[in-house]
Structures are given as structure tokens and as C-alpha cells.
Amino acid sequence: MEAILALEDGKIFKGRSFGAPGERYGEVVFNTSMAGYQEILTDPSYKGQIVTMTYPLIGNYGVNDEDAESRKPFVEGFVVKEYSKIASNWRSKKTLGAYLNENGIVGIEGVDTRAITLHIREAGALKAVLSTIDPDENSLIEKAKRSPGLMGVDLVKEVAQSKDYEWNNKGRYRVVVVDCGVKFNILRELARNDCRVTVVSANRTAKEILSHKPNGVLLSNGPGDPAALPYIVKTARELIGKVPIFGICLGHQMLGQAFGGKTYKLKFGHHGGNQPVKDLKTGKVAITVQNHGFCVDIDTLNKKDVEITHMNLNDKTLEGMRHKKLPIFSVQFHPESAPGPNDAEYLFATFTQMMKKNA
């Protein structure tokens, strides 16, 4: 079956369908990871996006029961150069195509993913439509133009769990995780670091969060425009000074706004497992996993209270900060990896030490 990827600026890419038939809209982005496609598909931060993999062969080790990072895939569409119909791995339970089909995700193969990536780098992230049911190119381009995109849209409410739950029941430190689209490996890393983890919905108030009597609060990753989430920013602002806080990705952006800063949209975002980030205190450089299209504006932060701790070496954007007096810090990248390098895994131990000191 033919599939077509149409961008809002008129670019058309034709290929073959794999996965579910249908039509999906989203912002098209590229991911530079060479492995970990199942983790990428199930990262809730990709809600609202059509993901193009720059690595040319995808699907060769299939899909298993252990590598999902949330309850289901959240990408709007999946774009690859070549889909491997043969899946060979001792953990594999099914093929990638079958997995996409089961979850209603449209996939396209046989397109020039290098050309798509280069175009996005020049033109910036673009709205797009991926379709197996509409062969009219002009119709698809108009649909892409009319699609909502990410700006000003609250996507957290579409990925966050509505019910609170206990992730584990053992640990010295009680941590409440505010679920904006949390990845499972964040919860696993907290549990490994002697934390008893309670996950609460993103719409919980500061009072409801504090009623759990936590030793610390983690503001999780999530999708979409951080400026469209004033209710989470309000909660973050009300938690400041009450309890140690660790923010990851969207959680970092929530804290940035709570500190008085503003966010803006990056040209094509950071998506992949090879982003170099420098720790400004130690001078060490970590290769990090990232997935975000928005960023906190360094110049809008109050430097009297907030210290910049990490910087992206590719484009000099903000990657980490901490409060100078209070036990609060955050990073724009993903220290839990999954997939990708674990250079920044130590930050979970840093959070534990912060809670220990505060107690």
C-alpha cells in the first residue's frame, strides 16, 4: 500500500505503508538514535509528532515486553528508510509492523530520510500529514497547513494518567512524581535510588501533592508547548520552598516559568541520544538523550536566585539550572536514558542526596 508524507510547505515524500492504515497529523521531527525505536515510540513526549529515524534500518530486532516506556505508543506517525520485515532477537515477541498496526500508528518506509532531515534542519520543524488513504497531494498539503501543530496546545492532558498510583512500596525517601507524560525508566531509576514512588496526575494541586508528605517531588517529562500549561506552572510555583524538587525536560521548563522565565520554540528541536552537554561547574561533558522542541530562555531567568548549571555545546541553549538557596534543580535532557547513553544517570543520586540533606 502506498503512503504519502506531506509537509505544510509543499514537500511530498512517497513510500510504502507499514503498520496501520489511516491518516495522522503532527509536527515532523527527526531522531538520531541508532537503536531504541520501541522506547522512542512509547515516549509520551512524542505526542503530536511524526518521528523520522535517521538510522537507515529499523525493526530488525522486533518488539518485546520489557522496553516500553509507557502504556502504549504515542507518536502520531513513524518514518523510516527501510523497515526490516525480519525481526531476530531472543526477547522479540512481534514485528515492529504488527506492533504499529495493533496500536493504530501509521508507518511509512522507502523514503529518503536524509532528505527529510536536511529539509527540517533548513526549514525548521514543520506540520505534516502521513496518509495511506488520500492520494491527492494538494489535498494533503492543505490538511497539513490546517492541522493544529504544537504551539499553544496542551498535550499533557492526552498522555498523563488520570488516576494516582504507587509505583513501588519500598524506599527510604517518599517521592511524588507529577505525571506530565512520565517515562517508566524515570520511575525505575528513582526506585533504584532508595525511593518509594507515588505517581500523581498533572492536574493535582500543590496541596494535594504535599498531602502525601513527600521527601521530594519530581516534575516529569511530557509533550507539547510548555507555555500552554499554566496550571502546572502554578503548582510548581507553590511547591517552591516547601520540598526538594527535581525537574526533567518538560518539568525543567515548568520550573523555568515558575522562576519567572519564558520558553520559546527551537528551530528543529533536540531529538536523539548524542547531544553533548557541559556541566559548567565541573567542566565535564556528558553525551545525553534528549527529546524536546521548546527551551527555557536563559536571558529571562532571575540570575539572583537561579544558577545555570548545564549548557548544550551544539547551540549553547540552556540544559540545566538550580536554585542558589533552595533544594531545587532541573535538567532539559533525560538522565534516565532509555534509549541512549547513561552518562547523566548520577543525577538521581544527586536528588537522593538532596532529600537526605534536607531531611
The DSSP-derived string for 59-123 is -TT-B-SS--SSSS---SEEE-SEE-S----TT--B-HHHHHHHTT-EEEESS-HHHHHHHHHHH
For the chain, percent of residues with pLDDT exceeding 70: 100
336 is catalytic: yes
Which letter, b or e, does each residue of 225-236 get, where b requires 16 or more Cβ atoms within 10 Å of its Cβ?
A: bbbbbeebbebb
Mean of the per-residue pLDDT values of the chain: 97
81 CA to centre of own chain: 23
Determine the pLDDT at residue 54: 97
Burial status of residue 310 (CB atoms within 10 A of its CB: 0-12, 13-18, 19 or more): buried
119 is catalytic: no
249 is catalytic: yes
- Could you tell me the sign of the dihedral formed by the alpha carbons of 209, 214, 218, 220, in that order? negative
- Average the pLDDT over 65-84 and give the result: 97
Q: From the candidates 180, 195, 249, 295, give the one annotated as an active-site residue.
A: 249
Determine the pLDDT at residue 66: 95
Give the SS3 label for residue 338.
coil
- Average the pLDDT over 38-66 and give the result: 97
Q: From the candidates 39, 189, 319, 336, give the one annotated as an active-site residue.
A: 336
- pLDDT, one tens digit per residue, over 87-108 is 999 999 999 999 999 999 999 9
- pLDDT, one tens digit per residue, over 312-351 is 999 999 999 999 999 999 999 999 999 999 999 999 999 9
Question: What is the set of domains in the chain, with CATH numbers?
Answer: 2-146 (3.50.30.20), 156-358 (3.40.50.880)
In 3-state terms the chain splits into helix, strand, coil percentages (rounded to 5) of 25, 35, 40
Q: How large is the angle between the packed helices 184-192 and 346-358, nearest 10 degrees?
A: 60
Determine the pLDDT at residue 269: 95
Q: From the candidates 252, 292, 310, 334, give the one annotated as an active-site residue.
A: 334
Interacting residues of 241 by C-beta distance below 8 A, sequence separation 6+: 326
With CA atoms as reference, report the closest residue to 76 among 111, 110, 100: 100
With CA atoms as reference, report the closest residue to 251 among 275, 283, 216: 216
- Average the pLDDT over 150-177 and give the result: 96
- What one-letter code names the amino acid at 211? S
- pLDDT, one tens digit per residue, over 241-287 is 999 999 999 999 999 999 999 999 999 999 999 999 999 999 999 99
Q: Which pTM was predicted?
A: 0.96
Cα–Cα dist 328/254, whole Å: 12
